[in-house]
Chains A and B, each alone.
Chain A
Amino acid sequence: MAEDISPRSAPFHWMQKVGRPTARPHFILQLVGVMTAIAILLPLVYLLIRAAGAGVEELWTLITRPRTLEITLNSIGLAITVTLLSALIAIPLAFLTVRTDLPGRRFWLIVTTLPLAIPTYVGSFALIAAFGPRGSILQLLLQPLGVERLPSIYGWFGATVAITLFTYPYLLISVRSALQGMDPALEEASRSLGHSSHSTFFRVTLPHLRPAIAAGGLLVALYTLQDFGTPALMRFDSFTRAIFLQYRSSFNRNLAAALALMLVLLVLAILALEYRARTKAKYYSRGSGSRQQQRRIPLGKWKGLALAFCIFITLISLVLPVGVIGFWLYRGMVSGGAGLAPFQGTLTFAFNSIYAAGLAALVSTLFALPIAILAVRFPSRFSTSLEVCSYLGFGMPGIVVALSLVYFGANYLPALYQKLPILIFAYLILFLPQSVGMVRNSLLQVSPTLEESARCLGRTSWQTIRDIVIPLVRPGIISGAMLIFLTAIKELPATLLLAPIGFRTLAIQVWLATAEDAAFSQAAAAALVILAVCTVSTLVILSQEYRQGEKNGVKSRG
C-alpha cells in the first residue's frame, strides 16, 4: 500500500503533462525581463573587452599553467563541500523551526537567519580568534592540559567551515519559505493514509522541497565561488583570490578579466547542473490559495537533540562572532580608553546603509518578479536564458562587477557615475538572483488554474499578476527582499568604488577601520550596528509574515 502514496502516483497534478497556459506573457513583462537581462550582462561585456586586450600567447600561458587548474579544482571542491554542509544544517533547521513544536520556535527562527548578516571576513576573523592554532580562546582554555598548539584551522578546512556557517541561511530561508507555502493537505493526506511523520517527511515533504533546496543550494554554491574575504583570511587558494591578486599586484586588468571569464564559465556549468536537476513535476495542489493552518509535529523524545542542534549552530555561527566583536569593542572602549568614540558617526552610517540596502531590496524585487513569472509560467528557451542571465552577476566577484560599472559609468553615463543609482544598479546585478530564486519557488507552489480562472473571469493579464500572483507569492517576495537587504548591507568592493563620495556605510566603516588602521574597536562598533540593523529588520519582516500566516489560518478555519 505504502508504495502507492509516493509522489509519482499521488492524486495531485504530479503526473499530468504541463498544461501550457493559453495566454502569452504580457508585453511589458517581456520587455522588463529582457532589459534586466541585458543590463546584467554588462559586466560580461566589460570582461570580454578587457580579455580581448590581452595577447593570445599571454592568454594561453595563463589558461594552461598548472596553477589555473589547481585554483579551479580548489574552488569547485570548496563549492561542493560548502553546499552539502549547508544543506545538512539548513534543511533540519528549516523543518524544526517551521513544522515542529520546538521550544522557542520563533526565537530560533530569527537567530538562525542572522549569521547571514555577519560579513564573512568578520566571521572568519572571529573563527581564527577562537580556534586558531595558538593564542586562540580554545588553545588558551586547553593550555593547562598541556596543549601548546592546535591543529591548523587554515586552508581548506577553515574556508569550508567559515563560508558554510555564514551562508547556510540562504538555503534555510529558501527551504523555510517553501515549507510555509506548501499546502498542508498534501502531508495530511499522506498521514491519513497511514504514513508516519518520518515517512511523510521523506516521501512527500522532501520531494516537494526539491526546487527550494536547489535554488538555495545554488545561491550557496555561487556565493562560495565569488567570496574573497574568507579565502583570503583562511589562506585558501581559490579562484576569486587569484583574480584579486592579479588586479592588486600586477595592475593587469586584461589577465584578471580573462581569469574572471573562466570563473563565469564555472558559474554557467553550475547553473546547467541546477537546470538539469529541475523536473517537470508540479509543486502546487488544487488548493484554493488560502492556506490552512499547518499541523505541528510533536518532537517527543527528540526535543533535547533538536534543541542541542539549534544551540550548537547558533553558538558557533552567531554567538561566537558577536562575542569576539564585543570583546574588541570592550578592549577599545575600556582598556584603550576610547569610551564611546568608536560609535561616533555610526548613526549616519547606519542610516546610509539602511537606505542603500533597502532601495536595493525594493528595486531588485521589482525587477526579479518579471523574470521569475516568465520562467515559471511561460517556460521556454527565451525565459530560461533570462533566468540564467540573472544569476551571472551573483557568481562574479564584487570587484569585477564594480570595475565594469566604473568603466561603463564613467565613460558612458558620467552624469550618474558615483551617484546612488549606479550603486543600487550594482547591487541589482550582484544580488538579483536571490529574489528571482525565492519568488520562483513561491510561484511553483501556486496553481496556475487560479490565474486561468481570473483570466476567464475577465481580468487582464496585468490585473491577474497584481491581484492574484503577487499576493500569493508574498512569502517568496519577502524572503527575497530580506536576503537582498542582508547581503547588500555588508557588500564592500562595489560600495567602495561606486558609492557617492562621502556616502559612508557601515560596511565601509568596518573595512576602513580594519584595512590600514587596525582600529578594531571602531570596526567592532560598526559591525555590531550592522547586526543590530539586520536583527531588527528580520524581526519586523518575520512578524509581518507571522501576522499574515495567522490571518490565513483564521480564514481557512472560518
Chain B
Amino acid sequence: MATVKKFAQLSAGVVALLTTWGVGLAGTALAQTLTIYSGRGEALIGPLIEQAEQDLGIDIEVRYGDTAELAIAILEEGSNSPADIFFGQDAGALGALAREGRTVELSDDLLSQVDERFRSPNGQWVGISGRTRVINYNTDLVDPSELPDSIWELTEPEWRGRVGWAPTNGSFQAFVTALRLVEGDERALEWLRGMQENDTIIYNNNTAIVEALGRGEVELGLVNNYYLYRFLAEDPDFPVAQHYTRGDAGSMINVAGVAVLDTTDQPEDAEAFIQYLLTPEGQAFFAEETKEYPLVVGIEPPEDQLSIDEINPPRIDLSDLADLEGTLELLQEAGVL
C-alpha cells in the first residue's frame, strides 16, 4: 500500500504548493506595476520594454497573446481588468475596444506628435509603428518586369493560380476594409470575386504565405512588409523579394498602436510609457529592428524601403477599419470565407 501513501502525500504536497504559490503571487501583485497586454511579439518589443523599464524607472509586465483574443479578454475582464495598456497589432482591435468604451482619451501632447492619419480622430488610441501591405514574390519564378502595378491586375488570367492570400488574417481583412473605403463595397466585392475565380490560394497567415513563397509553392503573395526580413535573417538566400502597388489599397498602411484602458490605476505611468515609444529612439527601434515605419513626423523610414510618401498609400480613416463586420459579410458573400 506504499503507493497509496505516496499518493496521499503527493496530494497534500500539491495543496500546500498551490496555496503558497497563490499567496506568493498575490503579494507581488500589490506592488505598482504597469501591465501591458500585447498582441505584438516579445522578440519585437521585448528589448524596448526592458529599456523603458530602466529609463523610466517603472516596473512593467507584459502578457503576450493574439491581438484579437487579448482585446476580447479585456472586454470579458470588465472593470477588474489588470491591464493598463493595450498594445494591438492593428487599428481594428484598438477601434473595437474604443467602441465599447474601454479606452480613455490620450493627452494632446502625445497625440500631436503623430501624423493625424495614424491615430484615432477622437484621441482614443495612437499609432506607434506602421506596416504597409505589399506584394512578395518568388524571385526564381517571377520576373520583375511582369509584376503588377495594381491589385486589379491580379484578377487577370495571367495570374491564375499563382497568387496566395490569407483571408482569415487580420491584416488582410484590414486591407479589404480599406479597399471598401477607397473604392466602395461593389468594387471590393468585384475584386474579391475576381480573385476567387482566379484560383487564388488560401493560406492561414502572412508567415505561411512567405514560407510557401520560399518553397515556390506559390509565386506571389499579398502580405505585410516586414515578414520577409525575418525570413532573410534566418536564411540570407531566401528567394523572395518585395514589390509595391502604389496608390491603391494594395499598399495601404495599417498601424500597430496603443490605448490606455479605463481600468488603469496609473494613468501617468501609462502616458510616460507611450511617450517613450514616441521618442526618436523608440521610433528608430521599430524602423531598425522590426522594419516597420516610424509614425512620428520627421523620423527616417527603415533601410531599403520606400518612404511612406513614395508609396502614396490611400487616404483613409484608420478608425473605420474597425468595421470588420461589413468586411466579413463581403468576404462571405464572395465565398472567400
Contact = CB atoms under 8 A, between A and B. Distances in A.
A335 B235 contact: yes
Nearest to B42: A512
B75 to A, nearest CB: 7
A415 B26 contact: yes
B22 A248 contact: no
Contact of A512 (B43, B72, B202, B324): B43
Interface stretch (A25-33, A209-217, A262-270, A359-367): A359-367
Nearest to A465: B4
Given A512-B42, A514-B207, A516-B41, A249 B168 contact: yes
Contacts of A406: 73, 76-77
A517 B62 CA distance: 17
Interface string A472-501: 001000000000000000000100110011
Interface in B128-151: none
Interface residues of A, number: 65
B227 interface: yes
Contact of A362 (B10, B21, B216, B230): B10
Contact of A470 (B4, B170, B214, B324): B4
Contacts of A19: none
B332 A419 contact: no
A256 to B, nearest CB: 9
A91 interface: no
A485 to B, nearest CB: 14
A520 B168 contact: no
Contacts of B208: 233
B11 interface: yes
B180 interface: no
A432 B233 CA distance: 43
B235 A517 contact: no
A467 B17 contact: no
B231 interface: yes
A501 B63 contact: yes
Contact of A247 (B62, B72, B217, B227): B72
Contact of B234 (A129, A417, A501, A521): A521
Interface string A171-214: 00000000000000000000000000000000000000000000
Nearest to A495: B65
A250 B329 CA distance: 10
B234 A132 contact: no
B155 interface: no
Nearest to A245: B168
A409 to B, nearest CB: 8
A522 B80 CA distance: 34
Interface in B45-90: 61-66, 68-73, 75-78, 80-82, 89
B22 A421 contact: yes
Given A233-B204, A501-B35, A501-B61, A133 B217 contact: yes
A517 B35 contact: no
Nearest to B138: A135
Nearest to B263: A410
Interface string A499-536: 01110000010001111111111100000000000000
Interface string A373-404: 00000000000000000000000000100010
Interface core residue of A249, A421, A514 (most chain B CB under 10 Å): A249
Nearest to A333: B234
Contacts of A366: 11
A336 B71 CA distance: 35
Nearest to A414: B80
Contact of B65 (A251, A471, A496): A496
A418 B82 contact: yes
A362 B215 contact: no
A232 B204 contact: yes
Given A132-B215, A235-B202, A336-B235, A399 B21 contact: no
Contact of A251 (B26, B210, B235, B324): B324
Interface in B165-186: 168, 170, 173
A420 interface: yes
Contact of A245 (B93, B236, B337): B337
Contacts of A67: 332
A468 B44 CA distance: 56
Interface string B97-139: 0000000000000000000000000000000000000000000
Contacts of B40: 516
B306 interface: no
A418 B40 CA distance: 20
Interface string A420-452: 110010000000000000000000000000000
Contacts of B68: 247-249, 251
Contact of B230 (A245, A471, A517): A517
A136 B215 CA distance: 7
A459 interface: no
B215 A134 contact: yes
Contacts of B25: 419-420, 500
A332 interface: yes
B217 A248 contact: no
Nearest to B28: A500
B262 to A, nearest CB: 14
Contacts of A497: 63, 65, 69-70, 73
Contacts of B311: none
Nearest to A140: B215
A135 B217 contact: yes
Interface in A210-245: 232-233, 235, 241, 245
Contacts of B72: 247, 251, 253, 403
A407 B77 CA distance: 6
Given A135-B217, A417-B82, A420-B18, A250 B324 contact: yes
A335 B234 contact: yes
Contacts of B297: none
A296 interface: no
B272 interface: no
Nearest to B43: A517
Nearest to A544: B3
A515 B66 contact: yes
A331 interface: yes
B162 to A, nearest CB: 11
A419 B217 contact: no
A117 B150 CA distance: 46
B76 A518 contact: no
A416 interface: yes
A439 B65 CA distance: 35
Contact of B76 (A249, A253, A416, A474): A253
B233 A359 contact: no
B73 A411 contact: no
A466 interface: yes
Interface string B233-277: 111100000000000000000000000000000000000000000
A539 to B, nearest CB: 19
Contact of A410 (B4, B81, B230, B337): B81
5 A-B pairs closest in CB distance: A135-B215, A516-B41, A134-B217, A410-B77, A518-B230
20 contacts: A134-B212, A134-B218, A135-B216, A232-B204, A249-B324, A251-B324, A253-B72, A253-B75, A335-B235, A406-B76, A407-B76, A414-B80, A471-B4, A497-B65, A501-B62, A516-B40, A517-B41, A517-B42, A517-B44, A518-B231
Interface of A: 67, 129, 132-136, 232-233, 235, 241, 245, 247-253, 331-332, 335-336, 359, 362-363, 366, 399, 403, 406-407, 410-411, 414-421, 424, 466-467, 470-471, 474, 493, 496-497, 500-502, 508, 512-522
Given A235-B203, A331-B234, A420-B21, 15 more contacts: A135-B214, A232-B168, A251-B72, A253-B76, A335-B234, A335-B236, A407-B77, A411-B80, A415-B22, A421-B18, A497-B70, A501-B62, A517-B42, A518-B210, A518-B211
